[in-house]
Amino acid sequence: MMPTNFNFLYVVTFGLTCALMTSCSLGRSLETEVYSNRTQSGKQFIGYNLYMNFMDYIEHCHKLGLQPANVLNKEENDVLTTYLDGNFADPKYFWLGGSDIGREERYYWIASLSEFSFTSWGPGYPNGGREENCATIYGGDGTWYDQYCSNDGVQPLCQTIP
């Protein structure tokens, strides 16, 4: 039988940990969040040192009151690339909030349901057909690649709502 003071100790320890980290009560990750510079449209990107699949990523941003990132022009891609390259270690592949699920080869932004206008696909990409349906960006040079949406090794990238 588990001693009754085990649960008490656990609660006290957890409570103290949360009290020391104000982010705990907000449900935010315990790491420091670093925001990108503002784009001309006024939004900022926020990447996380976490790894998850695309569906969990979309929900991650939503739960934080943010949006999955969308990149609407070269200026935004440049701001984003500078931010990712300067603040995150390799391999730094991040989800973008775009997919071609339900309409193969016609990628759209989840937050707006608008079809991609600007793109920064690598040469020959997207190339995954109906198997790879979610967009990623490599933070080292700002190039985009399609990826399996179920890949749980990609980092989440959110944005403030402009």
Angstrom CA distances, 20 to 25, 72, 79, 102, 159, stand at 10, 39, 33, 45, 27
Nearer to Ca ion, 15 or 129 (CB): 129
- We find the least distance from the C-beta atom of residue 120 to Ca ion, in angstroms, to be 17
- We find the least distance from the C-beta atom of residue 107 to Ca ion, in angstroms, to be 8
CA dihedral 31, 33, 34, 36 (to 10 degrees): 140
- We find the least distance from the C-beta atom of residue 106 to Ca ion, in angstroms, to be 9
Q: Provide the CA 13 distance to its chain's centre, in angstroms.
A: 31
Nearer to Ca ion, 76 or 100 (CB): 100
Residue nearest to Ca ion (CB): 133
Residues that bind Ca ion (CB under 5 A): 100, 133
* Four-residue CA torsion sign, 120, 159, 43, 104: positive
Bridge-partner residues for 36, per DSSP?
none
Nearer to Ca ion, 53 or 133 (CB): 133
Q: Give yes or no for a contact between 98 and 108, defined as CB atoms under 8 angstroms apart.
A: yes
- We find the least distance from the C-beta atom of residue 151 to Ca ion, in angstroms, to be 13
Nearer to Ca ion, 69 or 149 (CB): 149
